[in-house]
Structure 1
Amino acid sequence: MWRNLKLDGVEIEKVVAEFVIWMPILPYAKMKIKIREHAEGDYTGISDLAIKRKFDGCPENALGDGETIEAALENTIKSFNEKIKEDGFEELTPEDIEYSEWSDF
């Protein structure tokens, strides 16, 4: 099993799911969330869409952890919504976001 591989200086994560999320606040209506499984058995989600934060203009992806794929997905969506709320967005424009490189997703 891949979790049992022990290689010096190497950390392995497995991509276990990818979801398409539709939200009316998004300028192109959708984003993707990729879920990775860590060797320890927990999960992390990351969005392909980054919000350019109002306090510094730097793009920030949503991240979420969980003990299951579903928990990581839910926490990633909550993280995204918290960033929107913190920055006071009513709707996002193409200038407010940045997508990850297509090859990353």
Structure 2
Amino acid sequence: MAPQYFRTGYTVVEAVQYGLAEYADSPWAIRGREVPQWFVDAAGNDLIVPEFGGEDCWYLRVSTANGSLRVGPDDWIARDARGVLRVITSAAMSKDYRPEPNSDEVA
């Protein structure tokens, strides 16, 4: 499945949207896409870890340049061309990012 790329200003990111993962489900619920290898690698290196929320659902904790950030349902996890992980809220993705078709700027 093709990766999803988005642009904000001069920055292009590859991103996946986190889905709702209830307690009994796997915490790795990525919406509508195959999980990219960079995501699998980041999880294997403990840069992305599951975290159970008190609301009977899973969240992910992502190590970013801005510290450890929590990802909830509908938020996005992105990687830029330097490999830096970002957490983008659904609202910020809708407001600030645009689809970038057929981009090869992110390795």
TM-score of the two chains, using structure 2 as the length reference: 0.29
Tell me which structure has the larger Cα radius of gyration: 1
